[in-house]
Amino acid sequence: MNICKEIPWGLAFRVWWHVFWRYVVFGMLGGIILGILVGFVGALLKLDIHLVTSLSVFLGAFVIIAIQIWVVRRVLTKDSKVSKYRLALLEE
């Protein structure tokens, strides 16, 4: 096993992209599902639109954080490869 101590900018970009696009895709899906759910429940309960909007933003922040943590965990636990490198956590 070869440990890369000096990471070139191109590789850093590829690692960032490897995680980022998953944030975007899964974050959008989570946001859409949450928005529909909160909007539907808000309409059923005849809540004020401003309350529903505020609730959606508040809950959306938690969902996005949970999705980002899930994405990082998934990338590190699956056998993720970026170019010829494998992403892994090593215990010191």
Query: Which pLDDT band, with edges at 50, 70 and 90, does 86 fall under?
Result: confident
| Residue ranges covered by each domain of the chain | 19-76
Q: Is the pLDDT of residue 80 over 80?
A: no
Average pLDDT over residues 7-28: 91
DSSP annotation of 9 reads H
Number of neighbouring beta carbons within 10 Å of residue 48: 9
Dist CA 34 CA 48 (whole Å): 17
| Neighbouring C-beta atoms of residue 71, cutoff 10 Å | 20
Pick 59 or 92 by higher pLDDT.
59
Beta bridge mates, 86: 81
Predicted structure pTM score:
0.76
**Burial class of residue 34, CB neighbours in 10 A (0-12, 13-18, 19+):** middle
